[in-house]
Amino acid sequence: MSNPASAQTANGEAPKLVKGLEGVLALETELSFIDGQEGVLLYRGYEISDLAKNASFEEVAYLLWNGEMPKQSQLDELNRQFREERPVHPDIIDHLRHHTPNDAVPMSALRTVISMLGLYDEEAEDDSPEANMRKSIRLTAKLPTLVAAFDRVRKGLQPVAPKQEGSIAFDFLYMLNGEEPGPAAEEIMDAALVLHAEHGLNASTFTARVIGSTLSDIYSSVTGAMGALKGPLHGGANIKVMEMLLELDASGEDASAYIERKLAAGERIMGMGHRVYKTIDPRATILHGMLEGLSDEKGERKWLEMSDTIANAVTEAKGLNANVDFFSASVYYLLGIERDLYTPIFAVSRMTGWTAHLLEQWEENRLIRPRAGYIGPRDKTVKPIGER
Binding residues vs ligand MLT (CB under 6 A): 199, 202, 234, 274-276, 323-324
Q: Is 160 or 276 the residue whose CB approaches ligand MLT more closely?
A: 276
DSSP states along 355-373: HHHHHHHHHT---------
The residue sitting closest to ligand MLT, measured at its beta carbon, is 202
For 42, list phi and psi in degrees, rounded to 5.
-120, 140
User: Rounded distance, CA 335 to CA 16, Å?
Assistant: 47
User: Rounded distance, CA 226 to CA 350, Å?
Assistant: 10
Return the closest-CA partner of residue 244 out of 318, 342, 110: 342
Q: Is 241 or 255 the residue whose CB approaches ligand MLT more closely?
A: 241
Query: Is there a catalytic annotation at residue 98?
Result: no
Q: How far is the CB of 55 from ligand MLT (least distance, A)?
A: 18
Query: Is there a catalytic annotation at residue 35?
Result: no
Q: Is 79 or 361 the residue whose CB approaches ligand MLT more closely?
A: 361
Length of the chain: 388
Contacts of 273 (CB under 8 A, 6+ apart): 314, 318, 320, 321, 323
Q: Is 202 or 307 the residue whose CB approaches ligand MLT more closely?
A: 202
Contact 59, 69 (CB under 8 A): yes
**Other C-beta atoms lying within 10 Å of the C-beta of residue 347:** 27
Q: Which of 274, 281, 288, 357 is catalytic?
A: 274
**Sign of dihedral through CA atoms 24, 357, 352, 207?**
negative
Q: Is 170 or 354 the residue whose CB approaches ligand MLT more closely?
A: 354
Q: How far is the CB of 23 from ligand MLT (least distance, A)?
A: 12
Q: How far is the CB of 146 from ligand MLT (least distance, A)?
A: 21
Give first-to-last CA distance, the chain, whole Å: 25
For 265, list phi and psi in degrees, rounded to 5.
-80, 0
Q: How far is the CB of 233 from ligand MLT (least distance, A)?
A: 9
Q: Which of 121, 171, 281, 325 is catalytic?
A: 325
Q: How far is the CB of 26 from ligand MLT (least distance, A)?
A: 13
Q: How far is the CB of 330 from ligand MLT (least distance, A)?
A: 17
Q: Is 161 or 276 the residue whose CB approaches ligand MLT more closely?
A: 276
Return the closest-CA partner of residue 79 out of 177, 160, 190, 218: 190
Q: Could you give the residue numbers annotated as active site?
A: 274, 325
